[in-house]
Amino acid sequence: MSKLIVPSHNPNQRRQVMEITPESAGWEYVGFEVFLLKEGEETRISTEETEVCVVLLTGLADVRTAECSWENIGERMSIFEKIPPYAVYAPPGDQLTITANTPLQFALCKAPGNGTYGARLIKPADVGVEIRGAGNMERVIHNILPEQKEADCLLVVEVFTPEGNWSSYPPHKHDQNNLPEESYLEETYYHRVNPADGFMIQKVYTDDRALDETMTVKDGDAVLVPKGYHPVCAPPGYEGYYLNVMAGPVRTWKFRNDPNHEWLFKTKS
């Protein structure tokens, strides 16, 4: 298995099924965790020195921070209902308590924070929805925490890729701190597949091919993108979902397309 793939595991004592830290990933900014709670179970999370975005993947929950509380939030029972999620933003130094009112799966997206912004609820109506690309490059985007919304470092987005389509395509990268042309952003891809016994294909490669990985990604796998281009393909018969977390020294998404494939923008966008 590629070192860029992080598989899910059975729930531990904290009901955690995935944990990616800057130390485990070998980078500086992005952390990512997934939790799977049974109805009635509760987990407590200290944000410490990070800002976090809790994304309710499936199920209903009560969420409390040190100063705020929201009861019975959530809507979709399956990710592939394709409706925008509920999410909660919390700053560094906060305490979260998450109680499952139904079977619950949520993601914890993390990056260094300065405490500039307070805790808040992100409702589905606050999530920008767009269709990106055309033809067999078309996909649906849910902008949960884009750069236009308040945060110190985090960028969070989820993407639905129809069967047979390509996503994060034409290939692009954001691994150079070279603004305004390109920003440095570490990134994780958390993949789900429908039906769940299918797979996605993701490639991560650099211009010089010092990094050149083509990976078969299963339902529940995450892929680390420390650098390079990183397109995704959904095989016929299987639709794909991924939750992206990005963070870097400057909170802006400026990317560079692979010049070998940029001609595709002239025919499809």
Residue-wise pLDDT tens digits, 61-81: 999 999 999 999 999 999 999
User: Is the pLDDT higher at 268 or at 152?
Assistant: 152
The pLDDT of residue 267? 64
Q: What angle do CA 188, 190, 194 make, to 5 degrees?
A: 155
Quote the pLDDT of residue 266: 73
Residue at token pair 């020294």: 249
- The number of angstroms, rounded, from the C-alpha of 89 to the middle of its chain's C-alpha atoms is 14
CA distance 52 to 242: 18
**Average pLDDT score, the chain:** 96
Question: Under a CB-based contact definition with an 8 Å cutoff, are residues 113 and 153 in contact?
Answer: yes
Confirm whether pTM is higher than 0.95.
Answer: yes
The pLDDT assigned to 269 comes to: 45
* Torsion-angle region of 29 (φ positive above 0: left; ψ -120 to 50: alpha; else: beta): alpha
Q: Which two tokens stand for residue 28?
A: 């500086």
Q: Which residues of 11-40 are buried (b: 16+ CB within 10 A; e: fewer)?
A: eeeebbbbbbebeebebebbbbbbbbbeee
Residue owning tokens 């109506």:
125
pLDDT band at 1 (very low <50, low <70, confident <90, very high): confident
Structure confidence by residue, pLDDT tens digits, 22-33: 999 999 999 999
d(CA 61, CA 79): 15
| CB 35 within 8 Å of CB 14 | yes
Q: Please state whether the peptide bond connecting residue 84 to the residue before it is cis, i.e. omega within 30 degrees of 0.
A: no
pLDDT tens digits along 210-250: 999 999 999 999 999 999 999 999 999 999 999 999 999 99
Structure tokens given for 41: 């179970």
Report residue 265's pLDDT band, with 50, 70 and 90 as the boundaries.
Answer: confident
Does residue 5 surpass a pLDDT of 90?
A: yes
Q: What is the pLDDT of residue 268?
A: 54
Identity at 267, one-letter amino acid code: T
How far apart are alpha carbons 46 and 41 in whole angstroms? 17
pLDDT tens by residue, 86-134: 999 999 999 999 999 999 999 999 999 999 999 999 999 999 999 999 9
**What DSSP designation does 150 have?**
S
Q: Which helix (H) or strand (E) holds 22?
A: helix 22-25
Selection from 199, 13, 37, 197 nearest residue 107 by Cα = 37
Contacts (Cβ under 8 Å, ≥6 apart) of 188: 20, 25, 30, 32, 222, 223, 224, 225, 244, 245
